[in-house]
Structures are given as structure tokens and as C-alpha cells.
Structure 1
């Protein structure tokens, strides 16, 4: 059996079976999803994290690229009770260390009791506990990854659906899942994918019907350029956001965000709409949340489990955001109408691109 060690913040080292060799470090988190492992592993929001699957068997329906959310695996390492050969081989090809034959119940309970933790991983024939501890010593907190957007964003603007007849969407790519772009394209939008550090001039060149801030990894306060874009365009251009995008919009409009103890990650998070009183099940992956929406935003949906904001609307501006992933990959399809609302807002709202000073 190939040795594998997981050193967890606090000093203890877990031993498992190595399935893909290498060393890694990152924030140790867990997902409760029992399907959608391909989507989870390729979700850019897991950048700089070590992903633990709480469901015991990962890989029971193979690996198919058409389910991928991006072009690579994003977690720094993967932990499971048992990984199939298909998934283990995939992770090895990707150069992502993988460990199984661990008591993942213990790992999840530790995170739930003490919050997300730093960890170090060492897997290989010559791996030692000291190697894992050395990785742990070098691990940084998520808030310290100030340029994490550069690791997951496009480098240059990309246009998708140029021949479509619907609204023009300026999508600020902070680590956007592919299914978000697909959901907009399916509704005949033209999607202008812009880098996470896009300038006002980049947005003005698009002349968008809506400014859309994507999901992504890390601390929303570190996305200063995206925050500035919302501040500059919100008075004249409708604004939408998903996950990190909701947090960035709140930061831009005078609200505040905070780190959660262990976040929401899975496909069964219940969300209550405060107006309709309808509860929907949602896919989520985030470690930060809106603590205070501020005076320009109102909370329209909340998480049933902890009352954290799941939906925000603008009080005087055209804004709609969601903390969860309404594109429903891989989870329930209860909330796909979010994209219709975004494009309806874009089509109906008067707008004017800010003039040059």
C-alpha cells in the first residue's frame, strides 16, 4: 500500500492509502454531495483547498469530460473513504495527490466542530508524516491568497455566442463554472467573458446589457477590481452575481462579508424565499457569506439551516444575486429561472454607459 499522510492544523497526522502521488497544502473542507464528483473536482471555487468527500464511494459512474466545469481539477488534493480506479487515475494524470481508506466521518466531524483548517498532504512510496507537516507549515489562510483570481480567470476577453440575438452580458470571470456560461448561452445571450481584474474600459468596450460577477475562490475582499466595477456601473447597468459574485456586490454597495466556520458545500442546501415562502434545494460551494447587505440591498432568500443570505435584490438599483448555484450542476433544477430573471432585468432596464471624465 502506498503511504499517504494528512497533517491537519492542530498537530495531528492521519494515515491513509495513497491513490495519486505528490505533496500539497490547502484549506481542508468537505462536501456532502453524493453525486457530481466530476463537477466538484473541476469547480474553480475549490482552488487552494483540499476537498474531502463525505459520501463514502467516489467514482461509481466513471469520469466523463462533458460533465467538467473547467479544463482542470482545482482542489490541491482529494480525500475520500474510497476512490474508484477511474477517479484515482484521473487525479494522477492531473497531478493532484489523492488519499483514501481514511475515516472521512472523523475528518468531517473535526471540520464541523472546529471549522475549516489548514492541512498538508504527502503521498508516495517515500512519503513521511514529516513531509505532510512541512506542507502544513507552509500553508496560508484563504484570505492571504490575494491574487487567487489570476489562477482561475481567463487572461484575455473571450466572446461566447457572438451570433446570439439576446442581451450582451459582461461576465467578470473570478472562476466561473462553465455551466453558468452555458445557462446564459441557452437563453440566447452573448457572453463577453472578462478577466477578474477587468477595467472599466474593458466593460465599456462591451457596452453590456448586464454586468455579471461570477463565482470563484477565496476572500471577496481581495477582488478589488471587480468591486470597483460594480461601484462604477451599478447606477446605470443591471448587475447580477452568483456565489462569490453576491459577496462582491455586497462589498461594493457598502455591505460586509465574513468567513464562515466551515461553509456550505453540497447539493442539498435548503433555501427559503421570503416572499413566496417556497423552499428550494440548492447546490452550494462557498466559505464566505454576506454578513450585512447594507442599505442598498435587501435579503430576499435565506438558508433554512443558518439564516445566512442566499438572495439579494437592489433597493434602488437593478440588482439580483444568489449565494447558491442556480445553474444546477450537478444539483437540483429548482432555481434555473434565475437566469431568466437576469436577462429579463437586462432587457427591461434603461441604462447608459458611464461617460469618460
Structure 2
């Protein structure tokens, strides 16, 4: 007798086994990653989503906190073909519903055909199809989460490292390994809340303004976009994932929602200048539709969406993928060296 149910936006309900009890809802997405489940589950970019793992066994090397990208699990619920006891217990402790023993190949196929969709989950002794359908009915769309940054950002500014280059990292849901990658390269990283005002950045007078990754629709991160508009051409700009999208929007471009996004550790990216292809880690459901004032320098081999944007005139360098790439591959770690080289282009900013 099943003790878990997943209600899909298309109207169907899938029976499953409960591994961590609860009722939840979110945008149902999938990742093709076959390692790095700890990193995925603690990635703030999965906020308000239900994460489906396409790889059949999740948890085969345990759960170690040193691999976490943040302090908590971010997906609203987790779906897998099979979860080990270690992962199931971890999710139960975190209060995140989890289910397995369902056909994830079919589920992934539905997402690929119909796009990321809303879903509701009911799991546990009192689970029912009705509860799953009710959870689905209450599920908002991703663009409706207008202040999602407040759920994932630091509440107050923090400083990490004590290096020779000052980086202002606007935390829109940053993975911990982004700041760590910069600290390892002799940077002082000032992690700032997602709604930081321009005056606070001017007071800090950083060598580089860095917009992080994060969840949801980039149109909902108006404060970060305002920072880019304020300091473009004065402070070198860098961005990863959501950060690339925010910077593009601020510099005359536009973004759009993808059908099912890019989520996994095997996305091929081609550099248009060198024709070199690297494998990358990605997690995003939106993309840049129009780069505005920026030049597209890298594209996804599978669908030609922009993966890298640059401007020599404005000292801008962005990537749609995750160069820090925990748990790998590490093909693009050199991005952080390139970001710190932007510091040589810095013009001091006078506070008002």
C-alpha cells in the first residue's frame, strides 16, 4: 500500500513510498547529476522547487556536512528512484518531504515534454491523493515568488577572508563555494544581502561587484539590478547564473523562462573565441534572451543559449554555469582568476 503521492499539474497522481513525511508543493524539476547530491540539496537555487534525481540511486556515499553549499536543504521536497537511509534520515531531520520507488524516468520524460510543472506531495501515514492535489492547488508559479531573495540571502553583511582584492558579493542565494573560491585566490569577500542599497556598496568601494546565483525569476531581484545600473562602468562586474541574468537585464537585455532548464554536471559549453568545449555544472530555469550591451562569448552546445557574457568597455564578465562546480567537473575554475584580474580595471567610487 503506497504511503506517498505526487500530484502533477497535468492532472495525474503518482503513488510512491514515503522516506521523509510531510506535505509540500513546488515547481517540479530534474537534475541529471549522478554525484553531488549533498551539494544539490543544499544549493539555494532550488528554493521553492521539488527536485527529482534522474540517477537511480541517491546516497551511495553517505552525507557529509563539509560538502554542503549552505546551512540547510532548499528544495521543498525530493523525489528519487531510490534514496539510501542516510539521505532519507537527513531529509526527515530537515523537515523536507521525500519519496522514492516511483518511475523517475517517466517523470523526467514528462518534464522534458511538458516543461517544469507545479506539483503537490503528500507523504507519511496520513498521506492521500486528495492531500497531494490540495497541495498542488496551493502552489504558486516561480515568477510569483516576488521576494524569494529574502528566503536565501544573508540578513546582514559578512566578511570572509583577508586578501588583497575586495569583492562585494551580492548574495541572491550564493553557493558557499563561490566565496570560498575567491578567498582561496587571495580575495576578501564581503557577502552582502540581496537588497543592499547603492550607498552601502559605494561606502565599501570594492574592487569587483559580484552578483551571485540564486533561485527564481531574475525580474524579482530589482535591488541587485539597481546596483548594476548604478555602478556599471565604475566598478568591474561579475556574475554567475542568476547573476548573469540580472547583469544582462540591467544593461539593456532581457531574460526568459526555459522549458525545463539546465540542471546537471555534464552541460557542454563552447567558447566562441577559442572553439574550446568545456563540461559544466548548471542549475537554472531562466536564461538570457537578449544580451543588451554585452557580447555573447560562450554558448550551450545543446541549445545555443548564452553561457558567457562579456564587455571590455564596461569591465563585465559573467557565466551562466557554475565555475566553482562542486562536486565537479573543474574545467572552468579559471573564471575566478579572470574575475580577480578585473580588479586592475577598478575606478574608486566616492560615496554620496
Shorter-chain TM range is: over 0.9
CA shift for structure 1 position 10: 1.3
For the Cα contact (< 8 Å) 1:233–1:354, is it kept in 2? Answer: no
Give 5+ residue unaligned stretches, structure 1.
none
State yes or no: 1:351 paired with 2:351.
no
CA shift for structure 1 position 205: 2.2
For the Cα contact (< 8 Å) 2:238–2:317, is it kept in 1? Answer: yes
* Equivalent position of 2:214 in the other structure: 216
* Equivalent position of 2:36 in the other structure: 36
State yes or no: 1:268 paired with 2:287.
no
SS of match in other structure, 2:247: helix
For the Cα contact (< 8 Å) 2:28–2:118, is it kept in 1? Answer: yes
* Equivalent position of 1:293 in the other structure: 291
In structure 1, what is the Cα distance between the partners aligned to 2:316 and 2:214?
Answer: 19
CA shift for structure 1 position 315: 4.8
In structure 2, what is the Cα distance between the partners aligned to 1:263 and 1:328?
Answer: 17
For the Cα contact (< 8 Å) 2:287–2:306, is it kept in 1? Answer: yes
* Equivalent position of 2:97 in the other structure: 97
CA shift for structure 1 position 352: 2.6
SS of match in other structure, 1:182: helix
Question: Superposition pairs for residues 169-248 of structure 1, below 5 Å?
Answer: 169-248=167-246
In structure 2, what is the Cα distance between the partners aligned to 1:202 and 1:186?
Answer: 25
In structure 1, what is the Cα distance between the partners aligned to 2:63 and 2:121?
Answer: 24
* Equivalent position of 2:158 in the other structure: 158
For the Cα contact (< 8 Å) 1:311–1:321, is it kept in 2? Answer: yes
In structure 2, what is the Cα distance between the partners aligned to 1:350 and 1:45?
Answer: 30
2:275 corresponds to which of 262, 277, 284: 277
4+ runs of 1 displaced by more than 6 Å?
Answer: none
For the Cα contact (< 8 Å) 1:226–1:248, is it kept in 2? Answer: yes
* Equivalent position of 2:338 in the other structure: 341
**What root-mean-square deviation, in Å, do the aligned CA atoms of Structure 1 and Structure 2 show?**
0.9
State yes or no: 1:304 paired with 2:304.
no
State yes or no: 1:318 paired with 2:334.
no
For the Cα contact (< 8 Å) 1:269–1:283, is it kept in 2? Answer: yes
Deviates more, 1:227-236 or 1:201-210: 201-210
Q: Number of paired residues?
A: 352
In the TM superposition, what whole-angstrom CA distance separates every residue of 1:37-67 from its partner, at most 9, and x where no partner exists?
Answer: 0000000000000000000000000000000
For the Cα contact (< 8 Å) 1:244–1:323, is it kept in 2? Answer: yes
CA shift for structure 1 position 354: 5.0
